[in-house]
Structure 1
């Protein structure tokens, strides 16, 4: 059963802080294990995918969802989005260029035969994780918000409350 916007009630007013982020793993270009280990979100392959993650503000709280799996993390954006070739993450207290990390996925996209003016780069957003789970332990129940956007304002109070409660009541699942 696919998640939806939940009940027939209108969405709550946005609190100005919470964001839904889709960590799509459909293509082999990104891997949640990397994001969880090193503290980042990723999106790219075209502006439709990357523009919204570039809008994530430092200090914004992110609720991370893997399609067909469920919610896998809650964290706080700790730095601005940057192209993967230019991104730097803080690992063990030190700034490390993204491309020098031991990653399971390439974080690149084929752009041959497409619009040469399109931005096909993968964009990286640094995150300080509060809670995460492995994809096989993802939280998914009917009524939780989910959609195809890479990132959007999360106004669905049921999702915010239910996902927060799940992660706060399962601290031993963090990795």
Structure 2
């Protein structure tokens, strides 16, 4: 069903704010370039009107915290089906980009910038050339789509093609104009699809989840071992994928740069820091690490916890990190690569787990 926006004043006699429009989609593109958080707080804009080399220009290009690329296409005056087809065509170009190509795109977009340094400043972690552009997703920006095009996007999404639509609507109240937005699909699920369609040999998912635990200034692995939890926070990109986990799922946990440190069974759904309890007490009153305490009342940036019954866990000094093991910066994913199956088989042997 096509998405429609409505905006109302908050008062004892609410009134509907009339819909308006942009002067042009060029105005929206300019706004996004000036304030990329209009699209997402978790993306770093790296390119604009980039020539694909075969008769087209990508409207906008961004990087996600895991080094995956986000191709952003504005509907402009094309029909909905035309813009979907065009975006998929451009995605075939994006998939072939090498690290040097991406660095060159960024230099054209920001001549005084350095993509590695700016990525580190933006996300607080180094840009890994080995995983840069391992996957990508498509985002179509539109005021509306017809029902048949929405069905196409849903169809592609159900088959692990990472594509989404971001709807924008303009409203005018007095002399002030407001911009609202709504996603067609859950961004977290599209993020998962992007991981599932990463480069490399594919195979059916083995039913085992991968988890990335960011041990450091914000959270502590030894506390997670002791009290039985998995955690992430600081933004929707980091916590969206935690919703993949359900009770009784099994998750293999890796600390970036160190290796795999545990495997456990999920015993509950993700909960915000302020709602999560440890031994009958508020988690933040028990734990000593930070866990984004300053965002405890912010639903998007708050730390989230998943209770885990550890089957096997080891200290950081005993982390397993063999050559060729699967790694990803998404907090949780369901990998469909050959390396994930061999990784799990290796970990079962190293952790002494039969099944």
Structure 1 length as normaliser, TM-score? 0.79
Query: Quick one: higher RCO (CA 8 Å, sep 6+), 1 or 2?
Result: 1
For residue 118 of structure 1, report the CA deviation from its aligned partner: 7.2
For residue 54 of structure 1, report the CA deviation from its aligned partner: 2.6
For residue 25 of structure 1, report the CA deviation from its aligned partner: 1.9
**Does residue 236 of structure 2 align to residue 52 of structure 1?**
no
1:146 aligns with 327
Equivalent of 2:265 in 57, 76, 79? 76
**Does residue 311 of structure 2 align to residue 126 of structure 1?**
no
**Does residue 285 of structure 2 align to residue 100 of structure 1?**
yes
- What residue ranges of structure 1 are gaps of 5+ in the alignment? 112-116, 170-175
**Does residue 322 of structure 2 align to residue 166 of structure 1?**
no
Aligned residues between the structures: 155
For residue 134 of structure 1, report the CA deviation from its aligned partner: 0.2
User: What are the Cα deviations for residues 39-64 of structure 1, in whole angstroms up to 9, with x where unaligned?
Assistant: 00000100000111132111110000
Q: 2:343 & 2:202 partners in 1: Cα distance? A: 11
For residue 154 of structure 1, report the CA deviation from its aligned partner: 3.5
**SS of the counterpart of 1:85?**
helix
Kindly report the root-mean-square deviation, in angstroms, between the aligned alpha carbons of the 2 structures: 2.5
Structure 2 length as normaliser, TM-score? 0.40
Q: Greater Rg, structure 1 or structure 2?
A: 2
Q: 2:246 & 2:322 partners in 1: Cα distance? A: 28
